[in-house]
Amino acid sequence: MAEVRDDLPGTIIAADTQGNSLAANALFEGFEKNELKQIERACVWRKCKAGDQILTRDSLSRDIIFVITGEVRIVNFSLTGREVAYAEVKGGGYFGELAAIDGEPRSANVVAHQDCLIASLSPTAFRQVLINHPHVGIRVLEKLARIVRVCDDRIMDLATLGAHQRVYRELSKLIIEDPVRPGHWMIYPSPTQSSIAAKASTTRETVARVMSQLTGAGILERKSKTLYIRERERLNLLIEHVSSVDDTAR
């Protein structure tokens, strides 16, 4: 039976409740059913509501946490209280592996972005999984390597790009091809100004100003919940060469 740890929020439910499965988590791909069932029984299963603070940087928990359904956001806050977003973790993902591995304090805060079902596994149990299944350790290493690369890119952006350019870059990361009109580009669903600001390490007011400038310049057009990118090359030019959309008119 799993040891119940009360420092995490949410409503604890029985491990054998229907739908409580780690099978969709890529970390456990290839596991035999009985092996997976043992790990599931060692987990504490919780339902959390949107807005719940799942982890704080001063949390005593060192568990690794698997997101079964829903979505959580990994964030930090500056000394002035501004939110800095690191990542979103959806169903099938996991977080908290750093503290589970080294026993050090949490490096970020985690908030439920949607209602979600999570399963937490103690550091001792997680280490045993790594010992018994080396391929799981390789998968964790691959994720940590991706995190390092993302952090390197973010450090470079902060060191070399102005606030406007960082907003342009975050928008460019969200662009997809219009499924109805090939060769045209869109962002769907339209992100909130706060979410862009958190990822670009700037203020919501700066994002609002940039979005207004892009719209006025004909680069961006909002329709309902969709942002249409009318001139993608100009947006790329803004990221690479200039600090303000106004400069493209020169």
| Segments making up each domain of the chain, as ranges | 11-158, 161-249
| Exposure string for 76-91, b = 16+ CB within 10 A, e = fewer | eeeeeeebbbbebbeb
Task: Read off the pLDDT band of 7 (50, 70, 90).
Answer: low
Cβ-based neighbour number of residue 220 at 10 Å: 22
Which sign, positive or negative, has the C-alpha torsion 31, 35, 36, 42? negative
Instruction: Compute the distance between CA of residue 84 and CA of residue 195 in angstroms, rounded to an integer.
Output: 9
Which CATH code of 3.40.50.720, 3.50.50.60, 1.10.10.10, 3.90.660.10 fits the domain covering 161-249? 1.10.10.10
Tally the residues of the chain.
250
The pLDDT tens digits for 38-53 are: 999 999 999 999 999 9
The pLDDT tens digits for 156-204 are: 999 999 999 999 999 999 999 999 999 999 999 999 999 999 999 999 9
Task: Give 158 or 240, the one with higher predicted confidence.
Answer: 158
**Residue 17 scores a pLDDT above 70:** yes
State residue 245's pLDDT score: 54
For the 11-158 domain, the top CATH level (class) is mainly beta
pTM: 0.82
